[in-house]
């Protein structure tokens, strides 16, 4: 068993990875986090009060072996009847920080938190992580838990436009600063990030118009009560066309939400069984439809969006942006609606990039990833949606070989696992990796 593991990133995945190493009596852990507070990450640390979890509390335990852990924590902290509640993300951040603080308090000699910005990893006898301030931290292995990367700049927009007219990263921008109720805001993207930004703007008092534009103009669907049913117990065929027909048939029989949800336990095996052509076809043609059905929102949030649309304050558009031109305190955005031939130009006070996290390593602006990529320690997956890893989350470098001194977890491993962006999937991934690094995978009916 290794004696020390260095975890780069103290968000959800990195925090749980450290906790799982302790829970399995594994190696000591050093958790590196650039933020002032480890244990919350971007999703829960930068959330606004209006942001709620997209999943009911009953499914949000951080510990896979204790499915009621989060619900029990909510009850202990005075939240009434929490099982079916969509609680604020800030509350979930409190939960994660308490988990981490408790782990450190119980075993301070086994878990160290270091605040700093990791910029490189050297692999020799083990793994040595270098920080921006010159410090180095040595371990037997390192785990990249870097979370999602910022979105790409859409064509025609770049960092030079960032600031008053263009919010390049919605989570690190003052998106409402200087807006008045007479202004129009253009949000690029109509997915979950758009939902968060609309809630933040309106909760902050913005009374102007919000235009949300994406190629298909699809909005996330809402959770709803579903009838009891008997889920499938065998993995469907992975060929895309056959799988679509299967889901449509099941949707007629048990409802589309049940038909989508029952695939959860098969998603990663389906993805791994699919060939490169099938995966590319899925990303090009099916992903947007899959996302709005799979990644749903709380009913109260859906009702809020419906009310804004009915009032004309939120205008979803299916279309493609063509050009952007700053003109004084206005951005002229030219786009073409889906199915139309004639472009339109919209004058807006601000453009907010909500196109979603990027995964192309060649476009990444993180010094850590740039350095690892330049030296061949990591490489993009075949679809350029993240870091290439094997089935055990070991990073595959330019040589094509997996290295047990360097691992990656969380959303940047989507190329290997696909379904690895939500709490239930990440908690299983870090649980499994923690057990392997602790040699606990031989216990409890696994392995031998």
Same domain, yes or no, for 275 and 251? yes
CA–CA gap between residue 185 and residue 181 (Å, rounded):
10
- Note whether residue 262 is domain-resident: yes
Same domain, yes or no, for 66 and 105? yes
Q: What is the pLDDT of residue 38?
A: 80
> Which of 30-34, 154-158, 266-270, 325-329 comes out lowest in average pLDDT?
154-158
- Note whether residue 109 is domain-resident: yes
Same domain, yes or no, for 116 and 167? no
Dump pLDDT digits (tens) for 193-216: 999 999 999 999 999 999 999 999
Q: Which two tokens stand for residue 255?
A: 């409802």
Same domain, yes or no, for 363 and 413? yes
For 327, residues 6+ apart whose C-beta sits below 8 A from its C-beta are none
- Note whether residue 303 is domain-resident: yes
Domain boundary among 335, 353, 371: 353
Dump pLDDT digits (tens) for 325-351: 999 999 999 999 999 999 999 999 999
| CATH code where residue 189 lies | 3.50.50.60
Same domain, yes or no, for 86 and 11? yes
| pLDDT higher than threshold 80 for residue 375 | yes
Domain boundary among 309, 331, 353: 353
- Note whether residue 448 is domain-resident: no
- Note whether residue 226 is domain-resident: no
| pLDDT higher than threshold 60 for residue 447 | no
CA–CA gap between residue 326 and residue 324 (Å, rounded):
7
- Note whether residue 446 is domain-resident: no
H/E stretch holding 406: strand 402-408
Bridge partners of 185, per DSSP, are 210, 350
What's the mean pLDDT in 370-379? 97
- Note whether residue 264 is domain-resident: yes
Same domain, yes or no, for 33 and 171? no
Confidence band, pLDDT 50/70/90 cuts, at residue 35: confident
Confidence band, pLDDT 50/70/90 cuts, at residue 448: very low
What's the mean pLDDT in 286-304? 93
Position of tokens 């942001």?
51
Same domain, yes or no, for 83 and 13? yes
- Note whether residue 290 is domain-resident: no
Q: What is the pLDDT of residue 441?
A: 57
Q: Dihedral angle at the C-alpha atoms of 231, 236, 242, 248, nearest 10 degrees?
A: 10
- The count of structural domains within the chain is 3
Please give the residue that has the higher pLDDT: either 47 or 87: 87
Same domain, yes or no, for 66 and 213? no
For 78, residues 6+ apart whose C-beta sits below 8 A from its C-beta are none
Q: DSSP per residue over 215-227, as a string?
A: SS---PPBP----
Mean pLDDT of the residues in the chain: 91
Confidence band, pLDDT 50/70/90 cuts, at residue 312: very high
CA–CA gap between residue 173 and residue 93 (Å, rounded):
21
Q: Which two tokens stand for residue 159?
A: 């960092």
Same domain, yes or no, for 267 and 384? no
Same domain, yes or no, for 205 and 337? yes
Same domain, yes or no, for 302 and 398? no
Dump pLDDT digits (tens) for 119-129: 999 999 999 99
Q: What is the pLDDT of residue 241?
A: 84
Q: What is the pLDDT of residue 1?
A: 59
Domain boundary among 229, 254, 281: 281
Domain with 274, as residue range(s), is 240-281
What's the mean pLDDT in 68-91? 90
H/E stretch holding 199: helix 192-203
CA–CA gap between residue 360 and residue 415 (Å, rounded):
11
Same domain, yes or no, for 188 and 64? no
């Amino acid at each position: 068993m290794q004696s020390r593991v260095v975890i780069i990133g103290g968000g959800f995945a990195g925090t749980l990875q450290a906790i799982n190493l302790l829970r399995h009596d594994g190696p000591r852990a050093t958790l590196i986090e650039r933020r002032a507070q480890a244990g919350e990450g971007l999703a829960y640390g930068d959330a606004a009060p209006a942001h709620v979890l997209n999943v009911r509390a009953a499914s949000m335990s951080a510990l896979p072996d204790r499915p009621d852990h989060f619900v029990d924590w909510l009850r202990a902290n005075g939240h009434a009847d929490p099982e079916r509640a969509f609680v604020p993300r800030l509350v979930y951040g409190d939960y994660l920080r308490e988990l981490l603080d408790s782990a450190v308090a119980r075993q301070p000699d086994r878990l160290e938190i270091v605040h700093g910005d990791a910029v490189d990893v050297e692999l020799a006898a083990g793994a040595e992580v270098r920080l921006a301030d010159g410090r180095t931290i040595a371990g037997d292995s390192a785990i990249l838990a870097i979370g999602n990367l910022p979105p790409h700049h859409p064509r025609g927009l770049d960092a030079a436009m960032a600031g008053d007219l263009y919010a390049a990263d919605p989570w690190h921008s003052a998106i409402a600063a200087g807006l008045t109720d007479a202004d129009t805001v253009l949000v690029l993207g109509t997915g979950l990030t758009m939902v968060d930004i609309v809630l933040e703007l309106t909760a902050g008092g913005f009374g102007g118009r919000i235009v949300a534009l994406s190629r298909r103009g699809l909005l996330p669907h809402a959770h709803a009560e579903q009838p009891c049913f008997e889920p499938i117990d065998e993995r469907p065929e992975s060929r895309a066309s056959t799988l679509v027909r299967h889901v449509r048939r099941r949707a007629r029989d048990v409802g589309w939400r049940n038909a989508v949800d029952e695939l959860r336990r098969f998603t990663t095996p389906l993805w791994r069984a699919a060939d490169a052509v099938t995966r590319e076809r899925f990303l090009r043609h099916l992903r947007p439809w899959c996302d709005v059905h799979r990644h749903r929102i709380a009913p109260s949030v859906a009702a809020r969006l419906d009310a804004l649309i009915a009032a004309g304050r939120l205008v979803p558009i299916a279309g493609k942006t063509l050009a952007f031109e700053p003109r004084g305190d206005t951005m002229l955005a030219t786009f073409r609606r889906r199915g139309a031939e004639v472009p339109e130009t919209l004058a807006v006070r601000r453009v907010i990039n909500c196109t979603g996290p990027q995964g192309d390593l060649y476009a990444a602006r993180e010094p850590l990833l740039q350095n690892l990529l330049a030296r061949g320690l990591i490489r993009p997956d075949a679809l350029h949606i993240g870091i290439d890893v094997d089935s055990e989350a070991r990073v595959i470098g330019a040589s094509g070989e997996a290295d047990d001194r360097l691992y990656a977890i969380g959303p940047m491993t989507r190329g290997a696992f696909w379904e690895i962006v939500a709490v239930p999937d990440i908690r299983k991934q870090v649980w499994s990796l923690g057990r392997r690094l602790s040699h606990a995978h031989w216990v409890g009916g696994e392995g031998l």
